[in-house]
Amino acid sequence: MSDHYRNLERMYLSAPVNRSYSPTLEISEGRAVVEFEVGETFFHAANAVHGAVYFKALDDSAFFAASSLVPDRFVVTVSFNVYFTRPVSEGTLRAEGRVVHHSKSLLVAESVLFNGDKEVARGSGTFVPSKIELSEELGYR
């Protein structure tokens, strides 16, 4: 399975949206960790990280935790809930995702977002395997 994890990591890093974030991603069975540095371009008008950035980190880590358990299909997010607990204006964001339920047609994953050693948000999502096969066209290689 480690080839699958590395292929998913390359797919993630090749996505155009990640050019602005320069993230790292580490995947293991049912788990994923996303990390990136906070940048001023992520701020809303009150000089703290916009909620969309929190969501991206939480969804990405939960999504790839779920994807680690689906070896042949692109997984899609069906729903995702986010709970914000602290503002962030500097440092590194680290989202740790883990699968808490897995059946043939549905995966549920949770994620916790940290700024240093402080929890700043958490979320949970439901994911399903799509009809899209994992391929080089998606960056899966």
Q: What is the CATH number of the domain that holds 75?
A: 3.10.129.10
Question: Which domain does 77 fall in, by range?
Answer: 2-138
Global confidence as pTM? 0.96
Distance CA 66, CA 127 (A): 7
Judge whether residue 85 has pLDDT over 70.
yes
The count of domains in the chain is 1
User: What would the pLDDT profile of 1-42 be if each residue is shown by its tens digit?
Assistant: 699 999 999 999 999 999 999 999 999 999 999 999 999 999
Distance CA 117, CA 134 (A): 35
> Do the bridges between strand 73-84 and strand 118-133 make them parallel or antiparallel, or are there none, so unpaired?
antiparallel
Question: Residue-wise over 44-72: b if at least 16 C-beta within 10 A, else e?
Answer: eeeebbeeebbbbbbbbbbbbbbbbbbee
The pLDDT assigned to 1 comes to 65
Return the percentage of the chain with pLDDT > 90, whole number: 99
Considering only CA atoms, give the Rg of the chain. Answer: 15
